[in-house]
Amino acid sequence: MSQTGFPGIQPAMLEYFVGIALNNYREYFLSTHKDYEQNVKKPLYALAEELVPYALKIDDDMEQLPRRIVSRIRRDTRFTKDKSPYRSHMWLSFHPMSKPKWACFGLYYDISPDCSCYGGGFYDSDPARARWMRALLLRRQRELVQILTDPVFAAHYRILGEDYKRIEIPEELHPALRDLYRKKSFYVEHNDGLDPRISRPEYAQEIGAGMLLLKPLYQLLTNEYGDFAE
C-alpha cells in the first residue's frame, strides 16, 4: 500500500464505470453512491495526494487540493447535446493555482474501463493559440527538437491531437516538428492500457516519474504562453 492509501486501480473502480455507463440515471447513481465513494472517489483522491509532490517539482504553483484535482463524476450538460448526467471515466488535472485551465499547458491522469493514461496538453482548441504555437515552433526550434527527440521522452510519450487538413509547412522547420505544426491543439500521452501493474500501489510512483519527464516541455510552454494568454 502506498503512503497515502492509494491501492492501485482496482477492478471495482472499472466495474463501477461500466455500471454507470449502462445505467446513466440519477436513481442508479444514488443507489450505488457508497460504491462510488469507496471504489472510485477515495482511491482517486489518494492518488491525487501522492502525485502532488511530483507536480510541485514541475511547478511550485501547482494545485494541491484533491477536490480541485479530481474531476466530478457529474457532467455539465448545459452546453452539450449529450445529456447523460454522469461520466463513465474520471481524471486528475494539475494546473497552476494562479491560472484558469484554458490559459495553461496542464498535466492529467485519466482512467476509464478501456485504459489508464497520463500526459500533458492544452485544455481546448483555440485558433489563436494554434497560430501562437506555430510561431513558437519556428522561434524555439532548437529547444523543442531537443525536448521532443530526447530518447527517454520519445519512447514514453506520443504527440496526439487533431490536424488541420490543409496547412503549409515552412521549409525551414525541422522535420521533428512538422507533425506538431499541423495540430489545431496537441497533447502528449502515455497509455498503459489495462496492464496488470496499474492495480499495484506502486503505480502512483510510476505515473509521477512519467510526469516528471514533461517538466522541460511544460516549463518552456508555460513561460512562453504566459505573455500570450495575458
Question: Could you give the CA distance from residue 13 to residue 111 in angstroms, rounded to a whole number?
Answer: 9
Residue 193 backbone zone (phi > 0: left; psi -120 to 50: alpha; other: beta): left
**Is 51:214 a contact under the CB 8 Å cutoff?**
no
Give the mean pLDDT of the chain: 93
pLDDT band (50, 70, 90) for residue 226: low
For 118-131, what is the mean pLDDT? Answer: 90
**Is 70:44 a contact under the CB 8 Å cutoff?**
yes
- Residue 1, pLDDT > 50, answer no
Question: Could you give the CA distance from residue 127 to residue 129 in angstroms, rounded to a whole number?
Answer: 5
Question: Could you give the CA distance from residue 156 to residue 145 in angstroms, rounded to a whole number?
Answer: 16
- Residue 7, pLDDT > 90, answer yes
Q: What is the pLDDT of residue 4?
A: 60
The size of the chain, in residues, is: 230
Which set of grid coordinates corresponds to residue 143? 529547444
For 128-155, what is the mean pLDDT? Answer: 96
- Residue 73, pLDDT > 90, answer yes
For 179-200, what is the mean pLDDT? Answer: 96
Q: Within a 10 A sphere around the Cβ of 143, how many other Cβ atoms?
A: 14
Q: Give the containing element (helix H, strand E) for 132.
A: helix 127-139
Q: What is the pLDDT of residue 229?
A: 52
Question: Could you give the CA distance from residue 116 to residue 192 in angstroms, rounded to a whole number?
Answer: 5
